[in-house]
Amino acid sequence: MFAVVKMTVTREDKTFVVPFSSVLTTLEKKVVIRINNGKTQWIDISQGINLPDKTEIFGNLSVGDTIVLEANEELKPNTKVIAKFE
């Protein structure tokens, strides 16, 4: 037997949906890289629901933050960068 279920999921905390490439997984933690005043900041996150090409994240982020699309370990915290928007 199979059942078709439609559920409404609500969250008490703010969540964001980002591409998988924005999440950097190291041996110690998962982060996204935020650009603030021309410098990188590693923001600790937890992951939520995975979609086909994106993932839900929880962390100390705000609407309007600039997040690196292709996160990598070479972008250490406090690295000076110039954000390029496409």
Q: Is residue 49 part of a domain?
A: yes
pLDDT given at position 11: 75
Mean pLDDT of the chain: 92
State mean pLDDT over 18-30. 95
Q: Which amino acid is at 7?
A: M
Q: Do 2 and 8 meet the contact criterion of CB atoms below 8 Å apart?
A: no
Q: Is 61 exposed, middle or buried (0-12, 13-18, 19+ CB in 10 A)?
A: middle
Residue 6 falls within a domain, yes or no? no
21 in any annotated domain: yes
At residue 7, the pLDDT reads 83
Residue 63 is part of which domain span? 16-67
pTM over 0.95: no
Are 38 and 20 within 8 A, CB to CB?
A: no
According to the model, what pLDDT value does residue 33 have?
Answer: 97
Please report the beta strands in 1-86, taking only residues with DSSP state E, as ranges in sequence order: 16-19, 24-25, 30-36, 39-50, 54-59, 66-67
